[in-house]
A and B are shown apart, each in its own frame.
Chain A
Amino acid sequence: MSFEKRTCEISGLEIEKNSESMIKLNMATAIIFFAIGGAAGLLVLLTRWPAIHLLPVEWYYRWLTAHGLLALLVWIIFFEVALVHFGSVTLLKSRLAVPILSKITYGLMLGGTLLVVVMVLGGQADVLFTSYVPLQAHPLYYLGIILFAVGSLIAFIHFFINAVVAKKEGEYKRTLPMVSFGIMAASIIGIMSIAHGAAIYIPTFLWSLGIIETIDPSAYRLVWWGLGHTSQQINVCMMVACWYGIAAFLFKAKPASEKLCRSAFVLYILFINVASEHHLLVDPVFSTWHKIVNTSYVMHLAVLASMIHAFAVPASIEMGLRKQGYNNGLFEWLKKAPWGNPAFSATFISIVLFGFLGGTTGVIFGTEQFSIIRHNTWAITGHFHGTVVAGTTIAFMGMAYFLIPVFFKRDLIMPGVAKLQPFVYGTGITILSITMMAAGTFGVPRRHWDYNFSDAPFGYQFDSTVDIFMGLVGIGGLIAVVGGAMFVFVTLGSIFKGNKRA
C-alpha cells in the first residue's frame, strides 16, 4: 500500500508522515514534563537536605507528589507513547493505522496530566503518589489519573492495531523485529497494568464522590501495586528495547540468541504481574506462603529475564565492535567504543547502573525477610532511582539523542554538552542512589519532611554518619539536576533551534 513517507539519511529508516508528527509531539511533550518533574525533584531534594530544608511541610508533600507523578509517570509514558509509534510503525516500515487514536491518546494524557497537577499543587490532593485509602483526595485528582491511564491504554492497544495492519499489508512475514517485540511485550504489560489501575481508581473515584462507602485499605494496596509495580515493568521492557535498538543502529549488533532474548521478554509478560506483591511483604493479611509464591518465586523468574538481557545487550555490542576490528584482549572493544556519542554512552551507562544499582537492590529488598530491614526506608527510594532514573530515564535520553535528528531533521546543538551529559547525569544519580540507600540502611524513612523530628513528642537522632549521607544525597542530586538541565537544553534546543537538515 502506498502512503506518504520519506527515507531518513542517518538511519535509513522509512518514516511515515502521520506517525512522524505524533512521535515528535509525544517526545517534545515528554521532555518538557521531564524538565518540570526535575525542577519539582530539585525542590524536594533541597527540602530533604538538612542544611537547607527549603519548603514548608505541606508544600514538601505537594512537590513530592508532583515530582513522582511527572518524573515517573508523565515523562516516561509520553516518551513510551512515542516508542510505541516508533516500534509499530517506523520499524515495521508501515503506516499509522488509525491516526485519530493517536490524537485521542495525546489529548487524554495531556488533559489528565494538567488536571492532576492543578489538583496536587492546588492542595486538593495531599495523598502522595500512592494515595493509600482512607487518605482522600479531591475526585478530580482521581479523574485526572483515570484520563491519563485511558489515554495510555489506547496507545498500547494502538500498537497491536498497527502491527496487525502492517502484517496484513505484508510489511513483515513471520515475526516482529526484536525491538518491536520488546515494545509489544511492554504494551501487553501496559494493558495488564492499566486493567489494575481501572480496578482500583474507578472505585476510589466513586468513593471520593460518596457513591461507594468504603474501600478496604489492604485490598487497595494489593490492587494498586498491580498497577504501581506492573507499570514499572513497562518501563523495564521499553528500556531493554531501547538498549537493543541503539546497539543495532550504532553497531549493526545482532543479539547472540534471538531465542533467549525473546523468551526473556515472555518471562516478563508472564511473571511480573503477581511479582508486584513484593511491595506487601511486611503487610498483614497476606499469608507467608502467599507472599513467598507470588512475590518471590515469580519475581525471580522476571529477574532472570533481566539478567538475560543484561548479558545479551552488552554481548551484542561487544560482538559488533569486535567485528569492526577491536578484537584485542578482553576489553579493547570497550575502550574503543564511541564514548563521545551520547546515544551510546547513555545506553551503556543505563545498562551498568540499572544492573548494579537498581537490579541487585531490587531483588534483595524484594526478598521476604530482607524487606523487614528496608521497607519504606529511604533505601527503597534509592533503589528505584537506580531503576527508573539510572536505568529507564538514561536509556530514554540515549534514545532521544538518536531519534531527534532522525525525526526532527535537525542536528543536535551544543554537541560538547551532549557528549558530557550522560556522564554528569549518571554520576549524580549514582551518588544520589547509593547514599539514599546508605541512609535508608540506618532507618531514615522515605517521604518524610523532618528527619530531626523536632516537633515530635520523643526526639530522635540518627547515627551521626547519616548526616554525611544526607549531605551527599544533596550533592549527588544537584549534580543530577545539572545533568538533567543539560539534557533539556540540548534536546529542546535542538528541536527548536538545531541546524535544519535537508
Chain B
Amino acid sequence: MAIHEPQGNWWQPLSKDEKIWFILALVWMLVSFLYMPIQHFIGVQNPPSESYRVSAEDFEALIEAQEEKYTVGEENGFPVVRPNPDEPVYLKASMWEWTPVLELEKDKTYKIHLSSVDLVHGFSIQPINLNLMVIPGIDYVVNLKPTSSGDFRILCNEFCGLGHHTMVGKINVI
C-alpha cells in the first residue's frame, strides 16, 4: 500500500500491461521529440534563432532611415513602408504601437528585424496566428515569407501596461 513502507523486495519486474504501456509511451515521446530537429530540415515553419543586441537609439535610427527611403503612404497616422525584399526590414514595438505599417509582396522572403524600444511585447500576426516574442535590447531576425495576401493585423499578446489592448499594427500583403 502506498501509505506504508513497501515490504520485501519491491524492485520487481513490471506486469505485462504496464510494460506495454511504458514502451508505447516511450516510443511516442521519442517520436514527438524527434519531430522537432527533423522539422528544422524538412519543414518550412520553424522558430527563427538569429538574434543580436541592439540599443533602442540605434534601432530607432534604423526605423527612421527605412521610413525616409521606402515610405509610400500613410494609414491612420502610421507611415506605410514598402521595403525592398533584398534588404533588411525593420519593425518596431513600443508602448503601444507597431511601427511602421509594412507592405509586403506575396511569396517573397523578407528578413524582418523585430525589436522593442521599451518593454517586452508579443508579436502576433492575425488571422494566421503566428506568434513570437519581442524583447527590448534584442534584435530578432525573422525570415518571413507571406504565403497569402490581404490585410493582416499585428496584435500584442504580452502584457505591456494599461494600453496593451490598443496595440494593434498592420501588414498588407499584395
A residues in contact (CB < 8 Å) with B: 57-58, 61, 91, 126-128, 132-135, 172-179, 216-218, 221, 244-245, 247-249, 252-260, 280-288, 291-292, 296-297, 300-301, 303-304, 307-308, 311-312, 315-316, 363, 367-369, 371-377, 441-443, 445-450, 453, 455-460, 462-463
Contact = CB atoms under 8 A, between A and B. Distances in A.
Contact of A135 (B40, B76, B160): B160
A373 B127 contact: no
Contacts of B43: 369
Contact of B155 (A135, A284, A304, A445): A445
B69 to A, nearest CB: 23
B61 interface: no
Given A311-B21, A372-B130, A57 B162 contact: yes
30 contacts: A134-B136, A175-B6, A178-B6, A217-B137, A218-B135, A244-B2, A245-B3, A247-B2, A248-B2, A253-B1, A254-B2, A257-B14, A258-B6, A284-B139, A304-B25, A311-B18, A311-B22, A315-B18, A368-B47, A369-B36, A369-B43, A371-B47, A374-B131, A376-B131, A442-B127, A456-B166, A457-B78, A457-B168, A460-B153, A463-B127
B63 interface: no
Interface string B48-89: 110100000000000000000000000111100000000000
A411 B30 CA distance: 48
A260 B18 contact: yes
Given A258-B6, A445-B122, A61 B159 contact: yes
Which 4 A-B pairs give the minimum distances between C-beta atoms? A445-B157, A284-B51, A284-B140, A456-B168
B120 interface: yes
Interface residues of B, number: 74
A264 B159 CA distance: 36
A283 B129 contact: no
Nearest to A378: B157
Contacts of A308: 22, 25
Contact of B10 (A133, A258, A284, A285): A258
A462 B128 CA distance: 11
Contacts of A368: 36, 39, 46-47
Interface of B: 1-6, 10-12, 14-15, 17-18, 21-22, 25-26, 29-30, 32-33, 35-37, 39-40, 43, 45-49, 51, 75-78, 97, 114, 118-120, 122, 124, 126-133, 135-140, 153, 155-162, 164-170
Given A253-B2, A284-B138, A443 B47 contact: no
A450 B129 CA distance: 18
Contacts of A218: 135, 137-138
A448 B30 CA distance: 36
Given A245-B2, A455-B166, 9 more contacts: A133-B120, A179-B2, A252-B1, A257-B12, A300-B30, A311-B25, A372-B47, A372-B131, A458-B169
A176 B10 CA distance: 12
B145 to A, nearest CB: 14
Contact of A455 (B97, B130, B165): B165
Nearest to A248: B2
A373 B128 CA distance: 8
A447 B99 CA distance: 22
A255 B1 CA distance: 7
Given A132-B119, A135-B119, A445-B157, A256 B5 contact: no
A372 B45 contact: yes
B166 A453 contact: yes
A126 B120 CA distance: 14
A61 B161 CA distance: 9
Contact of B39 (A253, A297, A369): A369
Contact of A312 (B18, B135, B140): B18
A299 B156 CA distance: 28
Nearest to B76: A457
Given A260-B18, A372-B132, A462-B127, A377 B153 contact: no
B137 to A, nearest CB: 7
B51 to A, nearest CB: 4
B5 A173 contact: yes
A457 B97 contact: yes
Nearest to B138: A284
A373 B1 contact: no
A450 B156 CA distance: 12
Given A315-B17, A368-B36, A460-B126, A178 B2 contact: yes
